Structure 1
Amino acid sequence: MRRLLPLLLLLLMPVLPASAQQPPDATRFFPYTLNTTILPNGLTVVRVPFNSPGIVAYVTAVRVGSRNEVEPGRTGFAHFFEHMMFKGTKANPEGQRERILGGFGFDDNAFTTDDITVYQVYGPTAGLEKLIALEADRFQNLEYSEPAFQTEALAVLGEYHKNAAGPDLKLEEALAKTAFTRHTYQHTTLGFYEDIKAMPQAYAYSRSFFERWYTPANTTLFIVGDFNDAQVVSQVTKAYGGWQRQPTSVIIPTEPPQTKQRTVHVDWPQPTQPRHVLAWHTPAARADTPDAAIQTILAEYLVGDTSPAYKELVLEKQYVESLNVYTTPHRDPYLFPIDATLQDEKFRADVDAVLRREVTALSGGPVDAVRLRAIQDHLRYGLLMDLETPRDVAIDLALYAGVMGRPDALASYLKQLGSVTPQQLTLFARKYLEDKNLTVLTLTPKAVAAGGTP
């Protein structure tokens, strides 16, 4: 399922030389130069020159998501705190930052996943020096009152209710709670509903959350576009140099191996289309293994537009409206979920049989090497073509670096996409896509449950 916008010890950013460039080999797979500096306080600053005259993207990735929420009753705080980061400081009270950025014409937004929180600002290079000062101020000196905190907590509760009006959130919650018994991936980015309702009473905890996770060593800046590199490094060093909060680590519960197939069913009270999800536990995304690339390719190979399953279920028999696999990289072992939206409940057994048949065929081999190469080329080309603006580049760099812990993680991922072999696909499917490692999620709308058609 798609995580909402979706370990043993908290991993800090790796210690690189004080100033480093992307390795020459990586430029074969990622077309832009990464200039990386780590400040004495641990803040990683990545600059990427991009041919975008007068335009720059400024993206801040903090390695904190719902994964880090280990205390009972405190789920949803990573996402909630994304909201609080716009509340202002003593130097720039609430609303002033937005007025200044709006005056320059900057676009400003943020999102939270299971593993990271990303803040993005995009606009004219002419305002970059002021932007650096504003961002450094809020990450070091965030201030908000308890009434403001409580008001925002109610807004987050409203966001939950809005999402809960459709079936996707309920599906996501049911799958996470069933597939994970110990790991914090068992709750969504929004958090458990009871915890969200209790947030207005957690003002003091919110302050400790800020101190714990919003530290320089847990943060990476990505500055992409048209700028003077020496000036930017000087400005960032001056603005962020006084940020001295110390890094924190917590123990993330390890999910034990699943030993038998699990099932969970959702009865949806409103008319909608039935859903059928097969989800297997799979490894974490790492820069030094091909596991993330294998899962991306596997999704296309099993249910993509050129797959036998897609041709049979979507095009020919029309049992299924859509087939999707959401393979967002995760810091810890997560799930490989095939999500089928059925045209009718009566097709469920046939759809399940076809999907399992294709997984069995892949596990037994052989893999169609020609189709595999076409998928690899298409994925790499598509990813590179999506890097059309400085903002695209900065956000993709932040996503992969935030999960994998290296500024050049996106380049590593692109390289791995092109090097996966047929044998690796087969071995991966044989090892992980087995019944004892599977959770089956079904959703039936109320009318179908009663024997009718929605």
Structure 2
Amino acid sequence: MRRLLPLLLLLLGTALPALAQPQAGSQAFPYTLKTEKLANGLTVVRVPYPSQGIVSYVTVVRVGSRNEVEAGKTGFAHFFEHMMFKGTKRHPEGERERILGTFGFDDNAFTTDDITLYYSYGPSAGLPFLIDIEADRFRNLEYSEPSFRTEALAVLGEYHKNAAAPYLKMEEALNAAAFTKHTYRHTTLGFYDDIKAMPEAYQYSRDFFERWYTPDNTMLFIVGDFDDDQVMQLVREHYGPWDRKTASIQVPKEPPQTQPRTAHVDWPQPTQPRLVLAWHTPAASANTSDSALQTVLVAYLVGPTSPAYKQLVLDKQLVEAIGSDYVEHRDPHLFSLTATLKNEKDYDRVRLALLQEVSRLAAGKVDAARVKAIQDNARYGALMALQTPRDVGIQLGWYAGILGTPDGLQRQLANLAKVTPAQLSEFAKRHLKATNLTLLSLTPKVSDAGGTK
């Protein structure tokens, strides 16, 4: 199974101070951050970066499929990622792309369960135009009902495309089994029937925009080579009049799982069998180490130095790959172990092998040297992942959106450095237990050659 955003395995040795004042860099995050909150609630973070005339412009809105609490109205956070490129009265559809294309900007976006993130990457010379255009669309998005209906059909086509591979159906089946109340029960794309009904929900889409695309629900990250005073003057000028307030909703809480659950997908075509073990685990938080523990736990249990990897992938060669779909979430979600098998008859052997590693960890049998090696490797990976302004901006925006604070990346990195073997063992004992487990399997259709089953 695969999430929309890959896992970010980042680590550092020292926490950075809060962002009330400009910061000095550190060995693991060697860039200065400057943060200002406008009167309307918009948080603006600037990161000077020696990129020689290049800038990254990242806008993160704290809205995802998590916010879709109304029956029949799922998938709208993702849908709005599409609609945000439709234009405004000042900059009609196509003009934004023409202007940014003139400068050579790379421009894209993605939606997850918890956030929607937009980024542009290109020359600093185009930054004044970019600030004007971005502020205009976030304040004054405009689209007609026919345009809305056309894009709704495009989103339906995107669902059909994704449904042609096993990952989406696996995620749907797992969510349906693991969640009974919380909005994580549906994927970012939404329930299929809701997607089909989208063309009739034009007015609701306008309401969705007014509810969530608000300055107090948005953070802006500008990373690269630019004049800070000039940038802030332009930001205040263009974003200052944005005056909407974010909506208040009650996301249903998921009750504790008290017994094992199973889900199964019969895949109608030949493919490799798949297995997912998933447990409910705590949300990511700026004030706890829960997400940091789970990030380290992935590498410890199924990383390339793990006994499970050596046994299942290298020695016995029962699986093509093992891994995890764990990604930080704003509310309690799932920690998972995944396996792509070579033969369906090995389901039980693979399942028991993975559970055995979890049991060893919960019993306190932890290889402290390997934990340290994982941390050292992650520290190197963190530095290597910050090679361009786009890398820095997206990672800052991701953790800010999830953790709700502009210094979210630094907090996550600091927590990752503090993970201890004893904490890993206690976490596994508390959360990775049989009554909290949801087991998903996928069985492919038998191929003509007979090699799948």
TM-score range, shorter chain: over 0.9
Partner of 2:287: 288
Q: CA deviation at 1:5?
A: 5.4
1:4 CA displacement? 3.0
Equivalence for 1:276 = 275
Q: Does the aligned pair in 1 maintain the 2:131–2:235 contact within 8 Å?
A: yes
Structure 1 residue 288: Cα displacement: 1.3
2:298 counterpart of 1:299: yes
| CA distance in structure 2 between the partners assigned to 1:410 and 1:203 by the alignment | 37
| 2:54 partner letter | I
- Whole-Å Cα distance in 1 between the matches of residues 243 and 114 of structure 2? 23
Residue type of the alignment partner of 1:2: R
Q: Cα deviations across residues 394-416 of structure 1 (Å, max 9, x unaligned)?
A: 00000000000011111111111
Residues 95-116 of structure 1, C-alpha deviation per residue, up to 9 Å, x if partnerless? 0010000011111101000000
Deviations 1:57-84 (A, max 9, x none): 0000000000000000000000000000
Q: Secondary structure at the match of 2:297?
A: helix
- Which residue number in structure 1 is paired with residue 4 of structure 2? 4
TM superposition shift of 1:29:
4.1
Secondary structure at the residue paired with 2:265?
A: strand
Within-5 A mapping of 1:210-289: 210-289=209-288
8 A contact 2:181–2:253 mirrored in 1: yes
Deviation at 1:446, TM superposition (A): 1.9
Match of 2:446 in 1: 447
Indicate the SS of the match to 2:293: helix
Secondary structure of the structure 2 residue equivalent to 1:21: coil
Tell me which residue corresponds to 2:20. Answer: 20
| Aligned residue runs from structure 1 range 386-405, under 5 A | 386-405=385-404
Q: Distance in 2 between matches of 1:52 and 1:289?
A: 34
Would the aligned equivalents of 1:51 and 1:226 in 2 still touch at CA under 8 Å?
yes
Instruction: Give the conservation status (yes or no) of the 8 Å contact 1:21–1:33.
Output: no
d(CA) in 1 for partners of 2:321 and 2:314?
Answer: 10
Corresponding residue of 1:12: none
Contact kept in structure 2, 1:401 and 1:407, CA below 8 Å: yes
Tell me the percent identity.
Answer: 67
Query: How far apart are the structure 1 equivalents of 2:298 and 2:364?
Result: 16
Q: Which runs of 5+ in 1 are unaligned?
A: 7-18
How far apart are residue 417 of structure 1 and its match?
1.3
Note the C-alpha offset of 1:248: 1.3
Alignment of 1:48-447 (within 5 A): 48-447=47-446
Q: Is the 1:2–1:326 Cα contact (8 Å) retained in structure 2?
A: yes
d(CA) in 2 for partners of 1:233, 1:27: 25
Matched to 1:136, the amino acid is: A
- Indicate conservation of the 8 Å contact 1:60/1:221, yes or no: yes
The separation in 2 between residues aligned to 1:223 and 1:112, in whole angstroms, is 20
Measure, in 1, the Cα distance between the counterparts of 2:73 and 2:205: 10
On the 8 A contact 2:271/2:452 being kept in 1, the answer is no
- Rounded to whole Å, the distance in 1 between the matches of 2:406 and 2:157 is 35
Paired residue for 1:13?
A: none
1:447 partner SS: coil
Count of matched residue pairs: 441
Deviation of 1:386 (Å) = 0.8
Q: CA–CA distance in 2 between the matches of 1:30 and 1:4?
A: 25
Q: Residue 44 of structure 1 corresponds to which residue in structure 2?
A: 43
Contiguous gaps of at least 5 residues in structure 2: 7-18
C-alpha deviation, 1:304, in angstroms: 0.6
Q: C-alpha distance in 2, partners of 1:331/1:183?
A: 12
In structure 1, the residue corresponding to 2:31 is in which secondary structure? coil
Deviation at 1:34, TM superposition (A): 1.1
Q: Contact between 2:56 and 2:390, CA under 8 Å: does it hold in 1?
A: yes
TM-score by length of 1: 0.95
Q: Distance in 2 between matches of 1:253 and 1:59?
A: 30
Q: CA deviation at 1:452?
A: 6.8
CA distance in 1, matches of 2:231, 2:416: 33
Change beyond 3 A, Cα 1:145–1:118? same
Structure 1 distance, partners of 2:62, 2:366, is: 37
Partner SS, residue 400 of structure 1: helix
User: Does structure 2 retain, via aligned residues, the 8 Å contact 1:3–1:114?
Assistant: no
**Residue of structure 1 in register with 2:15 after alignment:** none
Separation in 2, partners of 1:89, 1:206: 15
Residue 445 of structure 1 and its aligned partner are, at CA, apart by 0.6
Partner Cα separation in structure 1 for residue 325 and residue 382 of structure 2: 15
CA contact (8 A) 2:342 2:452 kept: no
TM-score normalised to the size of structure 2?
0.95
Q: CA separation in 1, counterparts of 2:351 and 2:72?
A: 37
Per-residue Cα deviation, 1:393-440 (whole angstroms, up to 9, x for no partner): 000000000000011111111111111011100000000000001000
| Alpha-carbon distance in structure 2 between the residues aligned to 1:325 and 1:380 | 20
CA distance in 1, matches of 2:451, 2:32: 58
Q: Is the 8 A contact 2:23 2:32 kept in 1?
A: no
The CA deviation string for residues 27-78 of structure 1, in whole angstroms up to 9 with x for no partner, is: 3542211100000000000000101010000000000000000000000000
Partner amino acid, structure 2, of 1:335: L
Q: How far apart in 2 are the matches of 1:23 and 1:393?
A: 15
The answer as to whether partners of 2:33 and 2:47 remain within 8 angstroms in 1 is yes
Distance (Å, rounded) in 2 between the aligned partners of 1:271 and 1:400: 38
The alpha-carbon deviation at position 23 of structure 1 amounts to: 5.7
Structure 1 SS opposite 2:446 = helix
CA distance in structure 2 between the partners assigned to 1:287 and 1:279 by the alignment:
23
Q: 3-state SS of the aligned residue for 2:443?
A: strand
CA distance in 1, matches of 2:325, 2:287: 21
Provide the rounded CA distance (Å) in 1 between the counterparts of 2:235 and 2:228: 11
- Give the letter aligned to residue 329 of structure 2: H
Inter-CA distance 103–185: structure 2 relative to 1 (3 Å threshold) = same
